[in-house]
Each structure stands twice: as C-alpha cells, then as structure tokens.
C-alpha cells in the first residue's frame, strides 16, 4: 500500500511512528470519512509485534528523557505547540475529514486548544512545586519523579485535542509515550508525530501505533514495562483495560462515559437555559460531558419545551465543512445504528419524540428530544453518544437532586437557576466531577477533570496530571545534617 494518503488535500503518512521512524504493517484497515461515507485510505494495522516494538522504543528512550531538565522539556513542548499553530488549517481539515466535526470549530477553537495543551503543561512544569514543611525539626521536600513509559488510548470524538490532554502532561512529566488513537479517527495522531519530530522531540519519546483495540490493546496494557495507562472511552473497554493492567498493578487514569443532567429551575433565565440545552447537540451529541437529561421544574416545563423546539429548529445539519452548519454527521454507520436502536427501543417503550426520533440518511441522525420516559428506562440510564436528549420534570428541589444522581454515572452536571443559595445547595449534593452553574463547557486546564462512579477513575489537569504521570516522592531530612547535639 502507499505510505501516504490525502485527506482534505493534506498528505498524511499511514504508517506507525515507532522509535523515531515510520514502520508499516503487513495488514491494513480502512479509514472512512463520516461526511459522505467515502474511503479516505488504508491505514497500517498494528499487531502485538508493533505494540511490543513501540513499548520497547519508549523504554529505551525513557532514561535520557527523564534526565532532561525541566527547562529543556518545556522548550520542546512549546516548540511542538509552535508546530501545531503553523499547521492549524491542515490539522483542522484533516480532523473534519476524519471525524466529521465542524471545520469552523476546529479552526477557531479545537486545534488552537491543542497548542494550548502543550503550552499549559510546559509552563505548569516549570512552576510545579510543593512548599517544604517541617516535622519535629525535619524538612519534608516533595518532588515529582518521571514514572516511565505511558500508554495513552484516546477516543474519536475530538481526536487530537483529547490525545494531547494526555500526551502533553505525560511528556512534561518526563515520561515516554505510546499513543494509540481510535481506529475511526487516526490521522491527526500521525501528523502529531511529524510535528513532534520537527520540534526536536527525541526518537522514541513519542510513539504512535494504529489499529484495533481488540488486537493490540492487551499487548499494550498488559506489558510489564508500561508504568502508566490513561484511557478515555467506554465503561466496558475500561473494565477490560483494568483487568489487563491488574497483573502488573499498572496505575490507571480512566475518563469514561456520562449521562449528565441539566437541571432547570423555575427561577432560571429561561432563554439562557434553552441556549444551554440546545448546546448539547454540539458535535452531533458525541460529547461525553453533554447534559443529555433535561430535568425541568414542572411549572416552566411547557414554556421551556416550546422555546427549545423553536431554537432547535433553527439549527442547520449538514456538511461540517460548510460555515453555516451547526450539526455534522455521526462518526460511523455503526454508531448511527447504535443511536437509532436506542431511540427506537425508547419509542417502543412509550417515549414520545418531540423532535427527531429518526435517521436523516446513512450518516446523519436528526436532533432528537424524547419525553414520557421513565427514570429506570434504558434511554435515561445509558449513554447514547448521539444527538438524543430526554426531558423529565420535577416538582421539588429534592426530587431534582434525586433524579440527577439516579444513574451509575457521575461525569458532569449543569444547573440553571437564578438563586445563588439554591445553586450552592444543589451543587453540594450532585454526584459529578464537574458542575456548571448557568454556563456549560467552561474548561480550564488547571482545574481537576474526571468523573465519579462509572464515569472514571482519577483526575486530569494541573498538578493532578503530574501526580498521575509521576512517582510523587517525599524526602525527609534531619536538621543539622543529622548531627546529635545532645
């Protein structure tokens, strides 16, 4: 097969990146664009052999990279960010071609955020410290030691941004990396390897291996030389990774699914609440943080629904390369089938589609809002990961909190209210890693990010990322060099 394919007019190498060089596999898998279902090209399909080679390369490169000064690591991360910024247009069009998200979003926010990820963790590294403290005259000094080769397994809904949420802190921490991108959207990970090499990242510090998780996942996550594993994706896959890592007691960071609520109280600014609600269709509903369950106080539910339907009707669904498009396609025909199956089962069980409830064609699912859904129903309890929302009502604050917390997930929650005291009361009771009050998707890298319950294990962001990717050490020193002055 050819070593390169062209995606959106941009040449992308289809081979793995291992030990500072391109490595091809004998087998391939087909990468398909969700925009029209057309084939983009054939991608090297990794095996356990390539997985072992990638880990070996990361292990070999680790001692020198771990010994590299903080200042030099930070300089290289900034150089990677420079490379990303020079190629924003190329990265944006490749990402849109590969995963179907809006081109305007990639250009204006998502890909610039990739560069920011590297800059943030480069800068945070340089100020990472814990104030020394005394214990009976002894000095305690906390330090962060690089842990070792890290396997990072990333999802398809925001491929490069979510990958670099992990790659940037892992590299900043002094770890070497094996990145396994999702097989439905592998292309920008390959471009990242090129950018990192051009920025001067030493060979073997970043490795990229492509393929199916079912074929190479265990070879990566069970490898005895892997010191950290970070995964973003589904709960069932996370359980398999945890089982695989258990034999070596490899520490895990897991950012998993969500079934997050949007609580709308009668005292809320309804226009704001509706804006927040319609925003949940972002990226065709393929956002783990999305508030897919609307919980609306009974007295305003009818008016909220009316305004929501009016605003949702103004959304434009279509080609994500068009500046006027608001909702693009879903990632893959299999995902579309999964979404539709959820909706059809819900309708058969008695749910009512206020809008949508059907496919538009083989790539696009109509934005959907379902009512008359039971709290214990599948559509309320399970993550759909598509443009499908539900609406339930409540009559008291206590009922709102109970419904909000009544799933196995706990990734995020959004609250619309005009009462500051109520906001404080309710947020204290919500089970969620992130709570937004009268806003949505405000995300700062210095804040902790992660989920509760089945939504994840651990936190990413700021010092929390370094705590995970490092072995945190405390050194205790006796006073006066340990001399006994009796």
Q: How far apart are CA 326 and CA 429, in angstroms?
A: 34
**397 contacts: CB under 8 Å, gap ≥ 6:** 265, 422, 425, 426
Residue 211 has pLDDT above 50, yes or no: yes
Q: How many CB atoms lie within 10 A of CB 176?
A: 29
Q: For residue 200, what pLDDT band results from cuts at 50, 70 and 90?
A: very high
Specify whether 182 is located in the same domain as 273.
no
Q: For residue 347, what pLDDT band results from cuts at 50, 70 and 90?
A: very high
pLDDT in tens, 475-485: 999 998 666 54
Specify whether 270 is located in the same domain as 243.
no
Q: Is residue 334 one of the residues assigned to a domain?
A: yes
Q: What is the pLDDT of residue 73?
A: 98
Q: What is the pLDDT of residue 1?
A: 58
Specify whether 419 is located in the same domain as 466.
no
Burial of 132 per CB tally in 10 Å (0-12, 13-18, 19+): exposed
| Average of per-residue pLDDT across 364-391 | 97
Cβ(296)–Cβ(306) below 8 Å: no
| Average of per-residue pLDDT across 106-118 | 97
Task: Give me the sign of the Cα torsion angle 344, 288, 367, 436.
Answer: positive
Specify whether 300 is located in the same domain as 236.
no
Residue 341 has pLDDT above 50, yes or no: yes
Catalytic residue among 50, 183, 288, 460: 288
Q: Is residue 229 one of the residues assigned to a domain?
A: yes
Q: What is the pLDDT of residue 486?
A: 44
Give the whole-number percent of the chain exceeding pLDDT 90. 97
**125 contacts: CB under 8 Å, gap ≥ 6:** 70, 73, 74, 77, 172, 173, 466
Q: Does residue 470 carry a catalytic annotation?
A: no
CA angle 456/457/461 to nearest 5° reads 95
Q: What is the pLDDT of residue 322?
A: 96
pLDDT in tens, 234-270: 999 999 999 999 999 999 999 999 999 999 999 999 9
Cβ(238)–Cβ(254) below 8 Å: yes
Q: Is residue 481 one of the residues assigned to a domain?
A: no
Question: Pairing between strand 16-18 and 21-23?
Answer: antiparallel
Domain of 290, CATH number, reads 3.40.309.10
Q: Is residue 445 one of the residues assigned to a domain?
A: no
pLDDT in tens, 302-322: 999 999 999 999 999 999 999
Q: Which domain, by its residues, includes 349?
A: 261-437
Specify whether 34 is located in the same domain as 138.
yes
Specify whether 242 is located in the same domain as 265.
no
Q: In the structure encoding, which two tokens stand for residue 60, read together?
A: 């070999």
| CA separation, residue 272 to residues 119, 281, 303, 424, 446 (Å) | 33, 15, 13, 19, 26
Q: What is the pLDDT of residue 480?
A: 82
Q: Is residue 354 one of the residues assigned to a domain?
A: yes
pLDDT in tens, 139-177: 999 999 999 999 999 999 999 999 999 999 999 999 999
Q: What is the pLDDT of residue 2?
A: 67
Cβ(55)–Cβ(226) below 8 Å: yes
Q: Is residue 396 one of the residues assigned to a domain?
A: yes
Residue 365 has pLDDT above 60, yes or no: yes
Q: In the structure encoding, which two tokens stand for residue 447, read together?
A: 């804040």
Average pLDDT, the chain: 96
Q: How many residues does the chain have?
A: 486
Q: Does residue 95 carry a catalytic annotation?
A: no
**480 contacts: CB under 8 Å, gap ≥ 6:** none
Q: Count up the domains in the chain and report the number.
A: 2
Can you tell me which residue has the tokens 């809006």? Answer: 102
Percent helix, strand, coil in the chain, to 5, is 40, 20, 35
Residue 323 has pLDDT above 70, yes or no: yes
Specify whether 17 is located in the same domain as 146.
yes
Q: In the structure encoding, which two tokens stand for residue 277, read together?
A: 């609600």
pLDDT in tens, 382-391: 999 999 999 9
Specify whether 330 is located in the same domain as 300.
yes
Residue 423 has pLDDT above 70, yes or no: yes
Specify whether 316 is located in the same domain as 221.
no
pLDDT in tens, 26-83: 999 999 999 999 999 999 999 999 999 999 999 999 999 999 999 999 999 999 999 9
SS3 of 211, please? coil
Q: In the structure encoding, which two tokens stand for residue 414, read together?
A: 């959004």
Catalytic residue among 90, 183, 255, 297: 255
């Amino acid at each position: 097969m050819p070593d390169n394919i062209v995606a959106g007019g941009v040449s992308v190498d289809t081979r793995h990146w291992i030990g500072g060089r391109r490595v091809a596999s004998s087998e391939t898998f087909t990468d398909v664009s969700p925009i029209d279902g057309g084939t983009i090209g054939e991608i090297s399909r990794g095996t356990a052999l390539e997985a072992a080679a990638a880990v070996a390369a990361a292990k070999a490169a680790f001692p020198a990279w771990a010994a590299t000064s903080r200042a030099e690591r930070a300089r290289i991360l900034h150089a990677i960010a420079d490379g990303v910024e020079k190629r924003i247009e190329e990265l944006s069009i490749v990402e849109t071609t590969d995963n179907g998200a809006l081109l305007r979003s990639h250009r204006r926010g998502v890909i610039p955020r990739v560069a920011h990820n590297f800059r943030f963790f480069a800068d945070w590294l340089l100020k990472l410290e814990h104030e020394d403290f005394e214990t009976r005259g002894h000095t305690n000094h906390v330090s962060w030691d690089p842990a070792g080769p890290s396997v990072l397994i990333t999802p398809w809904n925001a491929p490069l941004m979510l990958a670099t949420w992990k790659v940037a802190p892992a590299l900043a921490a002094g770890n070497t990396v094996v990145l396994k991108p999702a097989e439905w959207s592998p292309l920008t990970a390959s471009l990242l390897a090129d950018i990192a090499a051009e920025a001067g990242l030493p060979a073997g510090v970043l490795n990229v291996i492509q393929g199916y998780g079912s074929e190479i996942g265990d070879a990566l996550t069970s490898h005895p030389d892997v010191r950290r594993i970070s995964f973003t994706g589904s709960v069932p896959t996370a359980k398999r990774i945890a089982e695989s890592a258990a034999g070596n007691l490899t520490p895990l960071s897991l950012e998993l699914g969500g079934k997050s609520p949007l609580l709308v109280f009668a005292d809320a600014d309804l226009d704001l609440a509706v804006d927040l609600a319609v925003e949940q269709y972002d990226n065709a509903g393929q956002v783990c943080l999305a508030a897919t369950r609307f919980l609306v106080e009974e007295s305003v539910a009818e008016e909220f629904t009316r305004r929501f339907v009016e605003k949702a009707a103004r959304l434009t669904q279509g080609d994500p390369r068009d500046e006027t498009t608001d909702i693009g396609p879903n990632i893959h025909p299999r995902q579309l089938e999964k979404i539709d199956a959820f909706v059809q089962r819900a309708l058969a069980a008695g749910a009512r589609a206020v809008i949508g409830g059907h496919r538009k064609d083989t790539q696009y699912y109509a934005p959907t809002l379902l009512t008359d859904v039971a709290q214990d129903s599948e559509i309320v309890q399970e993550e759909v990961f598509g443009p499908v929302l539900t609406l339930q009502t409540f009559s008291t604050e206590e009922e709102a909190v109970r419904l909000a917390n009544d799933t196995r997930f706990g990734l995020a929650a959004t609250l619309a209210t005009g009462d500051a005291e109520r906001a404080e009361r309710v947020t204290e009771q919500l089970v969620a890693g992130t709570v937004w009050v009268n806003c949505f998707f405000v995300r700062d890298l210095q804040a902790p990010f992660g989920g509760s319950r089945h939504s994840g294990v651990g936190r990413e962001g700021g010092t929390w990322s370094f705590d995970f990717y490092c072995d945190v050490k405390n050194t205790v020193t006796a006073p006066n060099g340990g001399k006994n002055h009796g």
